[in-house]
Amino acid sequence: MDELRYPHLFEPIRVGRTIFKNRIFASPNGCQYQNYGGVPSEEGIAFYERKAMGGFAAVTLGECIVDSRTGQAHSYQLLLDNPLGLPPMSAMANAISRHGAVASVQLQHCGMFSHLVYERGGQLLGPVDTAIPDIHFTNNDGHEVAASPDGLRHVRGMTEEEIEDLIRSFGKAAAFVKQCGYGMVQIHAGHGWGLAQFISKNVNTRKDKWGGPDLENRMRLTLAVIDRVRKAVGPGFPIEVRISGAECIDTGYDIDEGIAIAKMLDGKADIIHVSAGHHESQYATTITHPGMFQEDGCNVKYAAEIKKHVKAPVATVGALVEPAFMEEIIASGQADIVNLGRQSLADQDLPLKARMGREDDIDYCMRCCACFSNSTRTRRRACAINPVTGHELEERSGFWTSHKKKVLIAGGGIAGMEAALTAARRGHDVILCEASNELGGVLKCEKLVPFKKRLDEYLKRQARRVKEAGVEIRMNTPVTEELAKEIAPDAIIAALGSTPVKPTIPGIDGSNVFGAEYVYTHPECTGENVVILGAGLVGIELGIFLAGEGRKITLIEMLPVMNDGGNMVHMNNLLLQIEEKKIEVKLSTRAVEIRENGVMTEGEKGEIFFPADTVIYAVGQRSRSDEAIALGKYAPEFHMVGDCIAARNILSATSEAYNAARDIGRIG
C-alpha cells in the first residue's frame, strides 16, 4: 500500500493516557433505542457498535442524563442514575471498544428545558426565576393550544444546595460510566442546555457567586462539574467539554465570549469540543445542524478561532463529509479532531473507506434532515440514503436468509437502484429495466440545483454501483406485461415511480406554463417574474433555486399551510431561505385562470391577480400503481416500492426497496 492519502487525519492522538487511533470521532446522537428505565436496548447497542466497526476513533452516546429527577427533557434519553443500567451500559461500552474505538458518554442536564420533569408534575430548575413558553400542541382544528393556563412554564432558580447536588450528580454519573467500561466522558455545556444556561449572561443574572455579569462566576458551575468529574474518573481519563463557540442568537454570546469561555476551560478539559448555536432558536438550530443551503464545514471557523487561544486539543463539528476537507482542517491547524454526526448515519464506514483510498464509495450526507424528522416523529434513527441505519441489529444478526432467484426490477430510480443493489449483494441474478436512457429517476432533473449537489452525487454513485454489482441493465426498456412474461422471473420489484399531476385550470396549456420537472432542467425558460402553483417541497425548493437565479418568485398554495412532506426540520431551513430570498407566499389561495401575463386567483379576500411572465405547476405526483399492479401476476414473488404506491420521500423509497429485496428468496 502507498503512503496514507490523509496522514494528518489518520495520525493517532494521545489525550491523557488514551491513544485515539485517528482524528475522526462520531459525535453524539441521542439514543432513542432503550428499554424501560432509560437503559440501552439491543438495538441501541447495535446502532453505536456499527459506527465503531466503521473505523471511528471514538463513539459518543448522546443525551445521557445525570439526574432524571430534575434534568430530563424527554422520555428517550439514557438515564445515568438508574443502577439497573449497569449491565446494558457495560454491554454498550464493550460493543464499541472491542472494535478499537474509545467508548464515550455525553453527560447532560437540561436545566430549565427539562420538559419531562415538568410534565410529570416536577419543578423546572434553572439559574434564576423565570418563565419559558409552554410546549404547544395542535388541536383538531389546526390551532395551536398551550397546555398550561397562562401559556408559560415557570422556572425556579436553583438554591445553593441544589447546585451542589447537581455537581455531585455529574460526578456520580462519570464514576458510573467509567465502571461500565467507557474510556471518555463528554460534558455538555453548549446549545443552551443546563450548564450553558449558567454560562449565559442574559439568562444567568444571579447575584451570588454562581452568576451575574462576571464570566468567572457564570463559569463556576461548569468548572466545578469538571473538577468533580475529574475526581470521579481519576487522572489521565479523557474529559471532553462541548460548548457553543457562539450561540448565534440575539440574546446569546458571540465568538469573543466563546474564546473567553474556552480559555477558562483550557487546562481542565482534555478536549474542547466546539459546536455552535442554541437549540431553542429555529435560526440557531440550523447553524448547529447545517442544512443543504450552507457550505461544508461552515462551523469550523468557531473552532479555528478558539484554537488560536488554547493549548488543549480542539474538536470541530458540523457539515463535515469529505475526507480531503477534514485533512485540510487538521493539517492547517484549524482543529485537532473532526466530529461527524449525520455523516456517521449516512455511511458508518467513512473512516475505513477513507483510509483505504475508497473515497468514491463513500455515501456523503445530503443534509436533507430526514434523520432528524424521522427521529422526532418516531423516535427511531433513519437515513434517507442508508437503509441499514436504524436496522443495525437485524443486519448484525443476519435476520434474513435467501435462496438464489431471478429478480426483475422495473424502474431505475432511487427505489429501483437500491432494490437492484441489495438483491445483487444477496446473490440473486438481477435484471434492471429502465424506460429512459439514464438511471436516477425523476430526481435526476435536480442536477443543476446547487444545494442538491450531494443528491446528484448519490444518484451517480448508485448508478455506478449497480453496474459494478453485475446487474444486467436494460436501458430504454419499459417493463411491459409481455416483457415480464418473456423474462419469467422468480420475483418482480415494481419501482415505476410516478408522473406529475397537471391541474385542470383554464390556460394550463399556455406557452408560458411549465411543469416543475421541466423547469429544473431548463431554468432559462422562465421569465423574470415567476408564479409557482403549489407550496410543497417541490415547489418551495424550485422557488428557492429560481430565486437564486435572480427570478422574483410567488408561491400560491390552496391549503392554509405549506407542506413539509413529513420533514419539519428541513422546512425550518426552507423558511429561512424563503425569508432571505424574499419569496412571496400566498396560502389558502386557489388559481382559477392562467393568462399570458399572470394568474387570477381566489382567496379569503376574494379575487387577486398575480402578474407573471412564467407560471409553473408543482401540485403533486400521480402514482403509476395500476401499471405496477398489472405486473404482479408474472412472478411468484412480487413487491411494489417507492412512488408507484404513493408519493414517497427518499427515505421511504430507499427503505422499502432495501427491505423488499431482502425479503426475496426467504423460501426456496
Residue 34, pLDDT score: 80
In the block, cell 487538521 appears at: 330
Taking only the tens place, the pLDDT of each residue in 161-183 is 999 999 999 999 999 999 999 99
Phi and psi at 645, nearest 5°, equal: -90, -55
Quickly count: other Cβ atoms within 10 Å of residue 463's Cβ.
18
C-alpha cell, 339: 466530529
Taking only the tens place, the pLDDT of each residue in 292-332 is 999 999 999 999 999 999 999 999 999 999 999 999 999 99
Taking only the tens place, the pLDDT of each residue in 352-392 is 999 999 999 999 999 999 998 888 888 888 999 999 999 99
CB 418 within 8 A of CB 654: yes
Domain coordinates in residue numbering, the chain:
13-121+159-393, 402-500+622-663, 513-619
C-alpha cell, 157: 432558580
pLDDT band at 148 (very low <50, low <70, confident <90, very high): confident
CATH number 3.40.630.10 is the correct assignment for the domain at 513-619: no
Question: From CA 187, how far away is CA 439, in angstroms rounded?
Answer: 47
Report pTM: 0.92
Residue 141 has pLDDT above 50, yes or no: no
Residue 1 has pLDDT above 70, yes or no: no
What's the per-residue H, E or C state across 592-612? EEEECCEEEEEECCEEEEEEC
CB 255 within 8 A of CB 305: yes
Quickly count: other Cβ atoms within 10 Å of residue 308's Cβ.
11
CATH architecture of 402-500+622-663: 3-Layer(aba) Sandwich (3.40)
Fold agreement between 13-121+159-393 and 513-619: no
CATH top-level class of 13-121+159-393: alpha beta
Give the neighbor-by-neighbor strand order of the sheet with 130-133.
Answer: 124-126, 152-157, 130-133
